[in-house]
Amino acid sequence: MNVQFARRMENVQPSAIRELLRLGADPSIISFGGGYPDASIFPLEQLNAVYEEAIARNGQISLQYTVSNGIPKLREQIAQRMGRDGMACTAEDVLILQGAQQGLDLTAKLLIDRGDIIITENPTFLGALIAFNPYEPRYATVRIDENGMDMEDLERVLLATKNAKLLYTVPDFQNPTGVTMSEERRRRLIELANRFNLIILEDTPYREIRYQGKSLPTLKSLDTEGRVIFVGSFSKILAPGLRLGWAVASPGIIQKLGLLKLAVDTQCSTLNMTAVSLFLERFDIEQHIRLIRQTYLRKKELMLATIRQTFPQDIRFTDPSGGLFTWLTFPDGFDAAKFMLEQSLPKAKVAYVPGATFFPLKQETNHARVSYSTQQDEIIVKGITALGQLLKSELH
Ligand SMILES: Cc1ncc(COP(=O)(O)O)c(C=O)c1O
């Protein structure tokens, strides 16, 4: 049968990394590819207790349909946490989402007509491109360095494109590079957004996983005209399988996002929302987040120390103050995807994510995203050492 797919499906293709990650799924392979949290520190006992309570005590409510914006109690708890992070808001300003990923999809659905321009960091989170592509946008990209998005380059892009509508950024411990936008640049970004009438989508799944340095104000907290859509997630501070995140935005935007959410999936799981709400009430999530920070700091230090010891000197890497990833930059001309397929998978049994796929327009082949969150300490040392030895023989 000749299925006549919608035109938007032209932009919906399996990504090249799916194939590469499939090769990395072999249990004998050490994968630094996926951005999975360390499952060994999921708070299983506590989650077990709140699920039991949600069903045994409140099952008739927690297994029932609820309002599409999410159960009021959880929205209120999130609003309180947002307030402590400098974003005064109420439960009414919060929309519960099926993970942050749904916020990316709904925002594009809300704002993007075919051909509209979305500005992203270069490179940017692949999952965002996957969410945006069905809405048939065009992309404009902005250079980033160790202080995040370069505002001079952004201004140049804005002057050149004129009618960009949406800017997508991961200001804290960006995926894939691990870099954080400086406070000065955050303030400048808000000025530029006001001047050029841009909506900013601020995606923050790693914000609370800061293990070094002081926290910087969110773009939302600096927002003077209600043009920032803030998206948060429980995936990295609790567990991704819960599929719970949230958006905070101005009333007009939250209301429309809520209508789209209703159309897509009616609501998030009442049971999961109830369990997370009980978790926040009964247990100290800040204490759990401290454990996550300690764990990832230790793993980052271990991975970077091993990289320093075993990698050729001309491979650069980022040293993030939070989050899950370091970003490797190999010498010009190096093809990280080819090297993985032909060398690191068969010979060192190590997988990472080749960097090309994170570039919306012009793909650079000489990068890789490496995650230190998932693997246990001894495996990090073993895998990185094997990769380093192979790189040394390849590059010298
Ligand atoms: C930058 C970024 N945004 C969004 C997501 C999606 O997160 P969630 O599990 O909350 O949907 C991820 C997941 O890795 C991410 O890295």
- Give the model confidence (pLDDT) of 198-251 as tens digits: 999 999 999 999 999 999 999 999 999 999 999 999 999 999 999 999 999 999
Task: Kindly give the number of the ligand 1 atom that is closest to the alpha carbon of 170.
Answer: 1
Q: Does the beta carbon of 101 sit less than 6 angstroms from any atom of ligand 1?
A: yes
Question: How many CA atoms within 13 Å lie on the side-chain side of 277?
Answer: 20
Give me the pLDDT at residue 24, please.
Answer: 60
Sequence-separated (6 or more) residues with CB below 8 Å from residue 355: 123, 176, 327, 328, 336, 364, 365, 366, 367, 368, 369
Mean pLDDT, all residues of the chain: 96
CA of 128 from ligand 1 middle (Å) equals 8
Regarding beta strands 166-169 and 148-149, do their DSSP bridges make them parallel or antiparallel, or are they unpaired?
Answer: unpaired
Q: Does the beta carbon of 374 sit less than 6 angstroms from any atom of ligand 1?
A: no
User: Sorting pLDDT into bands at 50, 70 and 90, what band is 327?
Assistant: very high
Q: Is the pLDDT of residue 21 over 70?
A: no
Task: Kindly give the number of the ligand 1 atom that is closest to the alpha carbon of 98.
Answer: 11
- Of 95, 101, 130, 371, the one to substitute when testing ligand 1's pocket (max ligand atoms within 8 A of C-beta) is 101
Give me the pLDDT at residue 20, please.
Answer: 63
Chain centroid offset of residue 261 CA: 20
Task: Kindly give the number of the ligand 1 atom that is closest to the alpha carbon of 203.
Answer: 3
Q: Does the beta carbon of 35 sit less than 6 angstroms from any atom of ligand 1?
A: yes
Q: Does the beta carbon of 355 sit less than 6 angstroms from any atom of ligand 1?
A: no
Q: Does the beta carbon of 203 sit less than 6 angstroms from any atom of ligand 1?
A: yes
- Residue 340, token pair as written in the block: 């993985």
- Give the model confidence (pLDDT) of 289-300 as tens digits: 999 999 999 999
Give me the pLDDT at residue 14, please.
Answer: 82
Q: What percent of the chain shows pLDDT beyond 90?
A: 93
- Rounded Cα distance between 355 and 391, Å, is 16
- Residue 245, token pair as written in the block: 């995140």
Residue 271, Cβ neighbours under 10 Å: how many? Answer: 18
- Of 78, 129, 203, 204, the one to substitute when testing ligand 1's pocket (max ligand atoms within 8 A of C-beta) is 203
CA of 201 from ligand 1 middle (Å) equals 13
Q: Does the beta carbon of 371 sit less than 6 angstroms from any atom of ligand 1?
A: no
Domains of the chain with bracketed CATH: 7-43+287-395 (3.90.1150.10), 44-282 (3.40.640.10)
- Give the model confidence (pLDDT) of 120-162 as tens digits: 999 999 999 999 999 999 999 999 999 999 999 999 999 999 7
CA of 3 from ligand 1 middle (Å) equals 32
CA of 124 from ligand 1 middle (Å) equals 12
CA of 255 from ligand 1 middle (Å) equals 23
User: Sorting pLDDT into bands at 50, 70 and 90, what band is 16?
Assistant: low
User: Sorting pLDDT into bands at 50, 70 and 90, what band is 118?
Assistant: very high
Give me the pLDDT at residue 316, please.
Answer: 98
